Structures are given as structure tokens and as C-alpha cells.
A and B are shown apart, each in its own frame.
Chain A
Amino acid sequence: MTKRISVVLSQGQSRNPEKRKLEEDLVAALIMESGVDVTVVPHLYDLTPDGTGMLALRNIGGDAVILSWLYPRAARWVLDRNNIRGQEGISLLKGLGEGDEDDEDLEDELEDEADDDKDRVADSRPNPPRKIYCLDLRAYDDANTYVEEIRRIVRENGTPLVQLTGWLGGKPKNGEAMQRFLEPTNDTHLGAARETGRRDAGGNGEPAPEAPPVVRIEENAGRRWYPVIDYSRCTNCMECIDFCLFGVYGVDNVETILVEQPDNCRKGCPACSRVCPENAIIFPQH
């Protein structure tokens, strides 16, 4: 059986007709692809933790591609904060501003990662085996580039791979959570809309004649502004929690830093992002 993959298109905030067209071209193209379920949500960063958008995203248990108007790193850690986790899928598309001439930057980055004897929060936090690919819609203007890359991702994941079980070394505390990681149960969610769609076609990958499998979620909670922590960089040093006067940061039950009260954050302040010694604090809208 072919594995299905969920593609989430997170719409931009701008009404620029060219950007809107790219989004709609993508949806139109992706519903023709076999093995792909499409969900359209508002701008990822603006979604509230308990809103329908995040709920729908949490219900996706399998591999997912997230198309958003954000840096992949920002998208990934926004999802992480909302308990939407997985292995980082590696896209072959170049990111925004990642031309050939920027090889130097890339080297810098690799170097950064190489001289890494520090403990990062992410090292002690296992992710479920499913993959999440984040693609930046600002990087290319034509839908085709993204569709091609998604096809490649579908192929990459359609082939059974040797399971990467290295992450199991970390001794998860909670057996039930582990079970959820290993056997995501997305198939039962978001049911109604999708069951009438292609899934009825007998699993042979042929599109059903009607009801394209697109779930569109509207949510208007307005613009938000808050820090996002990149845990692959964060060392849990607590500079940010000491610095912020507005109680935005807190710690979880194992004393790991987290953005606890995002909506307390002052728009335009981003002072904590400058005090973080690891450059781990992201303000995607800045």
C-alpha cells in the first residue's frame, strides 16, 4: 500500500494577488496528485494553540509537507511548540536567499553545527519517526517547483526505509506517548470531509470522480506576535526568562525553557532575541 502524505498550505497574510494565485495554483495542482491530502489553513504563525487550524494539524499523524510564507526553521519550531513533531524532512529546494553564491553561509552553518559540544534541548527530546518537511513559499514564484518537490518527497517516503530508531536511545518517560509516536492515528481524524474524497477509491491511487480531498480551515484570531524557540540551538541557559519583564517565558515540568504566555509579548520589542547567546529565539515576522 502506498503511504499517504499530508500537504498543509498555510496562507500568507498579504492580499497580493500573485501570492494568492500561487497558493490556489498549488491547491489545484496538488489535488490531482495521488497519495496527497491537502489542508489549507491561515498563516501558521497566527494560529492559536487551541484553534481549529492547529487542531487539524495535530490530527495529521503521518508524514507531512508544510508550505508556508515562513522560513522553514520558523515553521518547524512553531509546529513544535504546538506539539506537532517529527523528524526534519530534508527538502532539496533552495531556501530563500540561499543562492549558489551563498555557499559561504552554508559552510559557516555547517561549521556551527560541527563544533557542537554543547547540549541542545532538542538532543534530549525524541521526535516521532514521521517526517515533516517545511517549504518556504517565498523562495519560488511558480507552483510547479513545489509540486515537483512534493512528488519527490512522496516517492522518497513511498519506499520503505530502514527505520531510524536512534532516537529511541533517549529513554522516553512515557510509554503511551511513545506508542502515539510509533503508531500515529491520523486516519480516523478529519474524517467526514476526506472519506468522501479520494480515499473511497479503493486505495488504488485513482482519484475518485468528485469531492477533491481538500480541507479548508478558516480561523480569524487576528495577528499574533511572540517568540519561537529553536530547540536545536537552545541550551536551556535561561537568559531569556531572566530578561523578559512580561512573563512570556516559563519552564515545563522538566525545567526546560518554553514560551509559556506568548500573548504577553510586546510587539516590536524583540529584545530577548538579542540576549539569547545561541541565537535560538526567532521572531518570524521581524
Chain B
Amino acid sequence: MMGQYEARFPTDRRYAKKNHTWAQRSEGRGAWRFGFSAYAVRLLQDVYFLDWQVEEGVNVTEGQEIGFIESKKAESDLYAPMTGRLVRFNGELLDDPSTINVDNYGAGWLFEIEGDGQNLMTPEEYLAHLESVWEVTQRTIKGQMNE
């Protein structure tokens, strides 16, 4: 569905609609761990730099600006995918953000937020959502190729 690019969307987790992140309950804790979906990584390509604008332990609301990312294809602010307490950032990424490209569903996770996660989508819902915005996506990707 991603043109010539293969994209994996594991079904053992949920997805946040707006900023294309996956979410998975971290074991033994009430927090959701977030990372970029294959779709987001496809759009970003190589990640060069990542920084967070809030401290661990603060409450964030969905849509709040929490960080910044620089990649081969984009410089962009990052927003909280859900409301809750942001308990942990993946500190390793500050030194080496390329882990996001190598293992976006595993070691390249971004942060953990404590909260109910009721606005998160199932993989099916997420794929349906991607289909619905597919036209925009195609334009974006084509735009990149024509650069």
C-alpha cells in the first residue's frame, strides 16, 4: 500500500492518528511507549537530530509541542500523541538518533506517557486512516522524489 516501499505495521500495538506514532503498553507499568510508525520513518528518512522541549515527569496534553526533529527530509516540531504524564524519554536517541531508522518499532522508541490511551487507534483503524489520507501522502512522496 505504500507504493514500491514496503511498510510494516505490527498488529501488537496501537497507533496515534495525528503524528503517526505507534503505542504499546510497557510491561508492568501504566505507561504507553511511543515510537514512529513505518509511515513516519518513510517520510522522515535518515534522522539526524532530536531534542525535547519538556522535562521528564511533566503532564502533557494531546497536541502539545514537546520536541523537535531534523532528518534528511524534514525539520519538524514533535507533538504529544496523547494526554498524560510524560514519564520517560529514550535518552539513547539524543546521542544516536539513527536507531529510529534501524529499529523504529523496538530500540528506536521515543518516549513513554502514562494515561488511559483511549484515543489510540487499533492497527486496522490506523490502516483505514492511512488509506483515507493516501492521496495527500502520494503527493508528499512524489514531491520528495521530484526534488
Query: Are B52 and A15 closer than 8 Å at their CB atoms?
Result: no
Instruction: Decide if A14 is an interface residue (CB 8 Å cutoff).
Output: yes
Instruction: Decide if B98 is an interface residue (CB 8 Å cutoff).
Output: yes
Instruction: Decide if B35 is an interface residue (CB 8 Å cutoff).
Output: no
Top 4 A-B pairs ranked by shortest CB distance? A14-B49, A268-B53, A16-B48, A15-B48
Which chain B residue has the least Cβ–Cβ distance from A15?
B48
Query: Are A267 and B48 closer than 8 Å at their CB atoms?
Result: no
Instruction: Decide if A256 is an interface residue (CB 8 Å cutoff).
Output: no
From residue B52, how far is it (CB to closest CB) to chain A in Å? 7
Which of A15, A220, A268 sits near B97, CB closer than 8 Å? A15
* Chain A residues numbered 201-237 whose CB sits less than 8 Å from any CB in chain B: 220, 222-223
From residue A138, how far is it (CB to closest CB) to chain B in Å? 12
For A222, A223, A268, the residue with the greatest tally of chain B CB atoms inside 10 Å of its CB is A268
A14 neighbours in B (Cβ, 8 Å)? 48-49, 70
Residues in A lying within 8 Å of B, measured CB to CB: 13-17, 220, 222-223, 266-268, 285-286
Which of B53, B91, B95, B96 sits near A267, CB closer than 8 Å? B53
Which of A220, A268, A286 sits near B54, CB closer than 8 Å? A268
Query: Are A266 and B48 closer than 8 Å at their CB atoms?
Result: no
A223 neighbours in B (Cβ, 8 Å)? 51, 94
- Binary interface profile of B, 90-113, with partner A (CB < 8 Å = 1, else 0)? 010011111000000000000000
Instruction: Decide if B55 is an interface residue (CB 8 Å cutoff).
Output: yes
B54 neighbours in A (Cβ, 8 Å)? 267-268
If the complex has contacts A222-B94, A223-B94, are A15 and B49 also in contact, measured as CB distance less than 8 A?
yes
B91 neighbours in A (Cβ, 8 Å)? 222
Query: Are B52 and A267 closer than 8 Å at their CB atoms?
Result: yes
Q: A15-B48, A16-B49, A266-B55 are in contact. List 6 more A-B contacts (CB 8 A).
A: A15-B49, A15-B98, A267-B52, A267-B54, A268-B52, A268-B55
A286 neighbours in B (Cβ, 8 Å)? 53
- Binary interface profile of B, 48-66, with partner A (CB < 8 Å = 1, else 0)? 1101111100000000001
Distance between Cα atoms of A285 and B66 in the complex (Å): 13
Which chain B residue has the least Cβ–Cβ distance from A285?
B51
Distance between Cα atoms of A148 and B70 in the complex (Å): 29
18 A-B residue contacts at CB 8 Å? A13-B49, A14-B49, A14-B70, A15-B48, A15-B49, A15-B98, A16-B49, A17-B48, A222-B94, A223-B51, A223-B94, A266-B55, A267-B52, A267-B53, A267-B55, A268-B52, A268-B53, A268-B66
Which chain A residue has the least Cβ–Cβ distance from B55?
A267
A13 neighbours in B (Cβ, 8 Å)? 49, 51
